[in-house]
Structure 1
């Protein structure tokens, strides 16, 4: 195994993974077969879940090398409590070889054959099965994720728009490889990006696993990504900009929220700009040193912010 591949695995496995043994406490595991490949996902049902009441559903997509079973731990155990308190069903799918085919075709061919692994079909099948078997509200299905999982949620916003009401990628933007695609319907999106992310550059360019590593695909800037989705949703007018008060002066970060709300079908485009934030989940774990991945912002609980955003949106 090459040193490069070992580095990818080392960084990725620690991304959103709190310990060596995945915790499955409170999770129900299901298996689907897609094109002859067994695919696994884990479900968290809130304590008041009732299949007759059409609950909302959120897909939470792990980072590259990570695991669905440990997604909650990587958020410092904030994601499941946020879903529980909001009556949302959370699904944590597992990528093949702990990766997602997120559309960055320039590098994914080196790691896996995305012509044989159909992540889009898998996630669509998960949604359909959750609706059919657990009475999920088809108008309130959402997706979020970090890094590779964040890029995959951007891809879903372009290619699975008929199933999703909103997405919220964290530390991810629109890749150049997908830049010419357009969603079939308007879709709400919240981007949560750190301006000091050393792996996924806020201002666009080449994604890196380590600071001087080989390119993991070229991406548009955060500003360009916001502009594209404003265009997709026919948003007009200027943004409402809110600078949050500094609740933790010692973390070296500040948060500005830029919202475009005058868009068709009541969609919305929101940027949560974490000044000084790194390749991290705000309010989550400092899973590697700040020198490698940057700072975790303590100004917001991204799990709560994202799920509240989702619940403001449903498909017409």
Structure 2
């Protein structure tokens, strides 16, 4: 009895201060990489599947949130991120995954001005990671994806806006688009997957800005307006296909609804995961944040894996550059 009570106490303390993780699948090995940029040496981690490539592989570039790091995103620093599931996906699906490091000053995301970007261009850094992976690691240039969480999600919007020609799709987790009058808006359509929580204490689901975020965060568009911007650019109909994500645990008070515009998984689609009563924490069944963190940022949904949902959205999508080029050639031939 005493041993059982001690074990229960230890498990409770671990969940409170360390979180919990249940991982058993093989994970891709990780190596440290660096690139010389105009602003100096930049760093990132690269997960390469252990099996020899039999063909060109997809690439996912992941961007961490404010105050975090590439190590934290890959589960190698406290608190381990649910996005660390990408290491298992990389090994299982033969995907190359890069976790970029913001470095000093954090990301120059979609709210950063020209003067700040001139000193440290993070979009160009992400573009350089993509170019190097294509040149050195048998990456398919038509299957390149980016995903970012929180401030990294703001950068994902900026990357998708400024270098859409390098991407097949992108995902923003717990991040809203800037209002149209505050930043450059996208001009090229891309498949987009957005995750938003209705009780996020940092990025209001309904848009705007919470007074207590002071000068650390700017006013944002709503999550649904963010999805609408990309949906309208893609020319997709107003009405989505709506599905409820199966609920797993009675103690989890959050609920998730998935909205999907666009029919084919290999075509243009816009997806939105709306997590009712969820806070500023990436959903995960197996990688749980510590209790004290959830008390600070709000409940973490436990019904699905954010990384698996993103990969399911990404995996059949390819860059539309070839399609666009073929269409242009056809038009030119007809005109002649």
Equivalent position of 1:96 in the other structure: 103
Structure 2 residue corresponding to 1:172, chosen from 175, 178, 182: 175
- Rounded to whole Å, the distance in 2 between the matches of 1:100 and 1:281 is 19
TM-score (norm 1): 0.84
Q: Which runs of 5+ in 1 are unaligned?
A: 1-13, 19-24
Query: SS of the counterpart of 2:49?
Result: coil
User: Matched residue pairs, number?
Assistant: 288
Q: Which runs of 5+ in 2 are unaligned?
A: 1-16, 22-27, 321-336
TM-score (norm 2): 0.79
CA contact (8 A) 1:253 1:297 kept: yes
- Rounded to whole Å, the distance in 2 between the matches of 1:232 and 1:177 is 13
What are the superposed Cα offsets for residues 84-128 of structure 1, whole Å, 9 maximum, x if unpaired? 22211110111121611112238x98xxx3330011111111100
The structure 1 segments of at least 4 consecutive aligned residues displaced by more than 4 Å after TM superposition are 177-180
Correspondence list, 1:4-23, <5 A:
none
- CA gap of 1:28–1:215, structure 2 versus 1, over 3 A, is closer
Structure 1 position 237, deviation (Å):
4.6
- Rounded to whole Å, the distance in 1 between the matches of 2:89 and 2:210 is 30
What are the superposed Cα offsets for residues 3-31 of structure 1, whole Å, 9 maximum, x if unpaired? xxxxxxxxxxx9x9x9xxxxxx9211111
Q: What RMSD over aligned residues (CA atoms) do the two structures have, in Å?
A: 2.7
- Rounded to whole Å, the distance in 2 between the matches of 1:255 and 1:279 is 14
Query: SS of the counterpart of 1:224?
Result: helix
Structure 1 residue corresponding to 2:192, chosen from 189, 209, 221: 189
- Rounded to whole Å, the distance in 1 between the matches of 2:260 and 2:254 is 20
- CA gap of 1:165–1:295, structure 2 versus 1, over 3 A, is same
Structure 1 position 230, deviation (Å):
0.7
Structure 1 position 129, deviation (Å):
0.6
Select the structure of larger CA radius of gyration.
2
- Rounded to whole Å, the distance in 2 between the matches of 1:302 and 1:213 is 29
CA contact (8 A) 1:237 1:262 kept: no
Structure 1 position 206, deviation (Å):
1.7
- Rounded to whole Å, the distance in 2 between the matches of 1:49 and 1:61 is 26
